Each structure stands twice: as C-alpha cells, then as structure tokens.
C-alpha cells in the first residue's frame, strides 16, 4: 500500500495520538524485518516522549529527543492505532504503547519494512543521508531534475524512482506523473529538456498533493479502526490499466517491463 501519499496520510493520522505523548512501553514480536530490529529497542523507547513525527521520503521519523525511531513500511507495511484490548495478529511485529493506552501497531506481512534507531541527527543516518529533495518542498523543481540528469542515460521512469534524485517516487507515481506530463517512460533522462522537466516537476507536485488530500478523506478509517484502506479511491490514470482506454485519447494503454517493474503508459499521449 504505501506510496508517499499513504505514508504522509499515516503520519498525519498518528500525530494527534503520538506527538508530545509519553511512551509507556514498546513490544517487538519479530526482529526479522529487512534490517534486524535493534535488540534493546524496547528499553531505549520506554519512558521517552515523542516530540514530533517527521517524514523523509517514505521514512517516518519519530523524534524522541535522545534519538529517532525510523520506520519504513516497505511494500506491505501499515501503521495504525488500536486500543489495548485489540489482540495482535500474525505479522503484527511491533507495538508502541503510549501512556494514554493507545497503541501504535506495525503490521508488515512481507517484512520489507524496517525499524531502526538513530541517536543524534536522524538525517545523518546512512539510509537517509543521500536521499534527494522532497518532491513537495521548494528545493525540488524542474531545474533540479534537469541539472541532475545530464549524464543519466537510463530511462526516465527508472531515473525518477531513484531516491537519490528525488525522494519517495515509487512505481505508481512514476507512471502517473509521466502520463500527466506527456513523457514516454522509455525516454533517456538526459535527452529531456528543461521545459519538459518543469512540466514534470509541476505534475509530481500536483499529483502527490491531490493524492494526500484524497488520502486524508479516508484517514479516520485507515488509522483509527482496523487499518483497512476501506473504499480508498484509486483513480489512477494509467497504473494497472493495461489494455483499457486512455482517459485523454481513448487509445488502449500499454504495459512494458522496465527494470523488474511494470510500466503503464499511452503510446499516443506520451512521447
């Protein structure tokens, strides 16, 4: 589930129940995530107060003052709030038990997510240190994309998903924003000019902003009760729509493999 908008939606949903709140305890049920969960994490967290929840790309940053709890949801991870009476199920690897009685619970069937602890500056962590600008911050724009792709011979679709160029663009939003910008996913990144990168950067900003706003509408269900996305609207224009009619020109959308990921596009609208 988690693309950047879902991670941001999760962050906002957790905020009122976690930020400024005292941690009573933490429970680690499985240490075997993409990286091993630190052994003494429960002891480190107990008695701390979460000062705020930040986000860098798709990493959530729980600032505890003396260090930061960094959580990534991987492919299948989900964080939500439960009451103490809700029994953990299979794949519920981690609980943050707040003094209020609320529990922030991590469920991650595929275990591609991770939980690490960083003392001091969280952004100095090796996982975060070299990540590119946030797509919704002011330092990200078409000029940045243009400047940093002059030697990139790879396909723009793959280059866009490189978190060192720009943070948090996954497979879905790479597909969606290239369609919106009218750029063929196979185009070599270095052959795209400044003007087209400006269109692309604007589309990235607009698409993510809209998706976060839409995520917000299903937020209460998502974070508050059973963690299910419910009737979360997936009005993707191209993603997972191979063979279906392009919303813009009605031509059938196509699919191809780039890297080991599926790409969806319109051969008529994207050049």
Least distance CB 119 / DNA (angstroms): 19
Q: Which stretch binds DNA (CB under 7 A): 138-146, 153-161, 177-185, 192-200?
A: 153-161
Binding mask 217-246 for DNA (x = CB under 7 A): ------------------------------
Q: Which stretch binds DNA (CB under 7 A): 47-55, 63-71, 216-224, 258-266?
A: 258-266
Tokens of 213: 């706003």
Give catalytic status of residue 58 as yes or no. yes
Give catalytic status of residue 185 as yes or no. no
Least distance CB 102 / DNA (angstroms): 24
Cα-Cα-Cα-Cα torsion 76, 141, 122, 158, nearest 10 degrees, comes to 40
Backbone φ and ψ for 51, nearest 5 degrees, come out as: -75, -40
Of the residues 11, 55, 56, 58, which is catalytic?
58
Contact between 110 and DNA by CB under 7 A: the answer reads yes
Residue in 67, 88, 109, 133 binding DNA, rule: CB under 7 A: 109
Contact between 8 and DNA by CB under 7 A: the answer reads no
Q: By three-state DSSP, how is residue 124 classified? A: helix
- Residue 116 or residue 246: which is nearer to DNA going by CB? 116
Round to whole Å and give the CA distance between 104 and 28: 12
Cβ contact 149:192 at 8 Å: yes
Restricting to residues 57-76, name those near DNA by CB under 7 A. 57-59, 72, 74-76
Backbone Cα Rg of the chain: 20
Of the residues 21, 34, 261, 268, which is catalytic?
261
* C-alpha distances in Å from residue 211, one per residue of 107, 157, 208, 218, 236: 23, 20, 5, 11, 10
Contact between 42 and DNA by CB under 7 A: the answer reads no
Restricting to residues 13-32, name those near DNA by CB under 7 A. 32
Least distance CB 57 / DNA (angstroms): 5
Residue in 13, 132, 142, 170 binding DNA, rule: CB under 7 A: 170
Helix (H) or strand (E) holding 201: helix 194-217
Return the closest-CA partner of residue 182 out of 261, 132, 245, 246.
246
**Helix 194-217 to helix 4-18 angle, to the nearest 10 degrees?**
40
Contact between 158 and DNA by CB under 7 A: the answer reads yes
Return the closest-CA partner of residue 211 out of 181, 184, 232, 188.
232
Contact between 93 and DNA by CB under 7 A: the answer reads no
Contact between 3 and DNA by CB under 7 A: the answer reads yes
Give catalytic status of residue 90 as yes or no. no
Contact between 141 and DNA by CB under 7 A: the answer reads no
* C-alpha distances in Å from residue 104, one per residue of 62, 83, 86, 125, 206: 12, 9, 11, 23, 30
Q: Which residues are catalytic?
A: 2-3, 58, 261
Residues at the interface with DNA (CB under 7 A): 1-3, 6, 32, 34, 57-59, 72, 74-76, 90-91, 109-112, 126-127, 151-155, 158-159, 163, 168, 170-172, 189, 259-262
């Amino acid at each position: 589930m988690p693309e950047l908008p879902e991670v941001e939606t999760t962050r906002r949903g957790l905020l009122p129940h976690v930020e400024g709140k005292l941690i009573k305890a933490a429970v680690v049920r499985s240490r075997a995530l993409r990286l091993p969960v630190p052994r003494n994490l429960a002891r480190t967290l107990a008695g701390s107060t979460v000062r705020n929840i930040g986000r860098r790309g798709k990493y959530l940053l729980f600032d505890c003052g003396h260090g930061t709890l960094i959580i990534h949801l991987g492919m299948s991870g989900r964080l939500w709030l439960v009451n103490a009476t809700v029994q953990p199920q299979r794949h519920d690897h981690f609980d943050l038990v707040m003094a209020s009685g609320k529990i922030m619970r991590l469920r991650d069937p595929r275990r591609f997510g991770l939980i690490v602890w960083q003392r001091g500056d969280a952004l100095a962590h090796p996982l975060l240190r070299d990540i590119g600008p946030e797509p919704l911050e002011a330092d990200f724009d078409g000029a940045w994309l243009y400047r940093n792709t002059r030697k990139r011979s790879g396909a723009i679709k793959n280059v866009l998903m490189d978190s060192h160029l720009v943070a948090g663009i996954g497979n879905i939003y790479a597909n969606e924003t290239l369609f919106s910008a009218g750029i063929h996913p196979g185009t070599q990144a270095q052959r795209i000019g400044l003007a087209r990168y400006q269109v692309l950067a604007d589309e990235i900003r607009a698409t993510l902003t809209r998706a976060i706003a839409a995520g917000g509408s299903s937020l209460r269900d998502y974070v508050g009760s059973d963690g299910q996305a419910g009737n979360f609207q997936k009005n993707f224009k191209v993603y997972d729509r191979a063979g279906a009619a392009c919303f813009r020109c009605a031509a059938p959308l196509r699919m191809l493999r780039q890297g080991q990921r599926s790409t969806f596009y319109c051969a008529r609208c994207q050049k």
